[in-house]
Amino acid sequence: MARTLLLICGVLASLVYVGTDILATTLYAGYSYTDQAVSELFAIGAPTGHIVVPLFTLSSALLLPFAAGLWLSSGRSRALRGMAYMLVGSAVNSLVLWNFFPMHMRGDEQTFTDTMHLILAVNPFVLLYLGLGTAAFKYWFRFYSIGTIVMLFVPFQLNG
């Protein structure tokens, strides 16, 4: 039962993140999914930063018990244990990003926080746990992981 609750935290983390993104974009007048980065929703001076930072923090914090649930469910699978470690790394990376290194609004002077934001936003742990997911799972999750990795590296345009 405890392991199930820990794993449910992964679903909740995703729901909180996506829900926050949808909520914030409705509250941010003029925000455009295609023209702006999600980081602009919690940028220094953004009208939605006071909502986005705590909710993204919650989303990232929920990845920690999810990682514990994944670890407990891993059995002898080194790939799953590796995924659990990468989820912890991703959660910590994101917690630092949301709370300590927001970017500045477009047009504002760039500072050290913007540089750190760019470094942390890369979040290599995501790519690593997707890669481990291709090794740990078969069928649909393997195809999902490979598809996500391809989408990260193959640029495309929505408008032509």
Tens-digit pLDDT profile for residues 25-39: 999 999 998 889 899
Residue 18 lies in a domain: yes
Residue 10 lies in a domain: yes
Q: Identify the pLDDT of residue 54.
A: 98
CB-CB contact of 87 with 125 (8 Å): yes
Tens-digit pLDDT profile for residues 85-137: 999 999 999 999 999 999 999 889 999 999 999 899 888 877 777 777 777 77
- Residues in the chain, overall count: 160
Number of independent structural domains in the chain: 1
Residue 160 lies in a domain: no
Q: Identify the pLDDT of residue 160.
A: 47
Residue 16 lies in a domain: yes
Q: Identify the pLDDT of residue 80.
A: 87
**Confidence at 155, pLDDT banded by 50, 70, 90:** low
- Give CA 117 to chain center in angstroms: 14
Average pLDDT value for the chain: 89
Q: Identify the pLDDT of residue 129.
A: 76
Q: Which domain holds residue 60?
A: 2-153
Nearest alpha carbon to residue 70 among 54, 83, 61, 58: 83
**Confidence at 143, pLDDT banded by 50, 70, 90:** confident
The model's pTM is: 0.84
